[in-house]
């Protein structure tokens, strides 16, 4: 069994995989990670392998504990991966994006795949039928847009994410909701349309914290999978420990 640890910007996700099936999944504050790992290993003593992907900060004592108890892979830009990376600056490519592409390689081999991760940022990553990663795009996520409107102006309130009632907002609150949510949807639909104009046979994956909120509102046919990054990390772990 495998332990997957994804250290994000705001929280850390922990998942236990039995082969390719998720047995458990939880999200905790980063300061609670060590205690959570100990609890998981008590609950699942069959866990032998672990992988850490960190775009945030993980305390050194956590890594020391993992190395003492499990065979550990710490994902970085030198970790062997199952695709050809044609990014012009490969060392700057986020390891979370690497994991997402690995998941697409495992689940949609020999396909043109656009992976959209709607989280803190919205990232777009594309891999073609030749197993070549070409790059993508990065833009502000939904919460970042709400916060920017509040923080960069004198009078606009900070709102919770809410589906606008109409494209024409007839109050400041409705105008903000319309601008943020419809703006994101227009961006997603527009970028998907651009990719489809180049690649007629295109598979689209939507994942990330806002995937559920956005998936029912998109015009395009997509696969929504909230566990896609975790599945990619599990595949990388398998790829490096066979």
The binding site for ATP consists of 6-13, 120
The binding site consists of 6-13, 87, 94-97, 117, 120, 172
Q: What is the DSSP string of 54-86?
A: ESS---HHHHHHHHHHSEEEE--TTS--SSEE-
Catalytic residue among 96, 125, 201, 210: 96
The binding site for substrate consists of 87, 94-97, 172
Rounded Cα gap, residues 16 and 23, in angstroms: 5
Q: Which residues pair with 146 in a beta bridge?
A: none
3-class SS at 158? coil
The binding site for K(+) consists of 117
Question: What is the biggest distance separating any 2 CA atoms in the chain, rounded to whole angstroms?
Answer: 59
Count the neighbouring beta carbons within 10 Å of the beta carbon of residue 124.
Answer: 19
Rounded Cα gap, residues 176 and 5, in angstroms: 35
Rounded Cα gap, residues 70 and 165, in angstroms: 51
Query: Nearest Cα to 77, choosing from 67, 89, 62, 64?
Result: 89
Q: Does the annotation count 201 as an active-site position?
A: no
**Where in the sequence numbering do the catalytic residues fall?**
96
């Amino acid at each position: 069994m495998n332990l997957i640890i994804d250290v994000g910007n705001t929280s850390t996700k922990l998942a236990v995989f039995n082969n390719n099936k998720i047995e458990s999944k939880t999200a905790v504050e980063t300061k609670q990670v060590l205690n959570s790992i100990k609890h998981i290993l008590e609950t699942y003593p069959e866990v032998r392998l672990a992988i850490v992907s960190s775009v945030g900060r993980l305390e050194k004592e956590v890594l020391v504990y993992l190395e003492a108890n499990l065979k550990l892979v710490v994902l970085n830009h030198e970790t062997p991966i199952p695709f050809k990376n044609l990014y012009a600056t490969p060392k700057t490519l986020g390891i979370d994006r690497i994991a997402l592409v690995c998941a697409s390689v495992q689940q949609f081999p020999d396909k043109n795949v656009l992976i959209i991760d709607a989280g803190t940022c919205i990232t777009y990553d594309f891999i073609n039928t030749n197993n070549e990663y070409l790059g993508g795009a990065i833009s502000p996520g939904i919460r970042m847009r709400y916060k920017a409107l509040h923080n960069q102006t004198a009078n606009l309130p900070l709102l919770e994410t809410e589906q606008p009632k109409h494209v024409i907002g007839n109050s400041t609150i409705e105008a903000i909701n319309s601008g943020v949510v419809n703006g994101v949807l227009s961006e997603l639909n527009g970028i998907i349309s651009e990719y489809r104009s180049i690649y007629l046979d295109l598979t689209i994956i939507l994942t990330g914290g806002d995937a559920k909120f956005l998936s029912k509102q998109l015009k395009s046919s997509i696969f929504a999978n909230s566990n896609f990054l975790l599945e990619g990390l599990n595949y990388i772990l398998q790829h490096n420990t066979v």
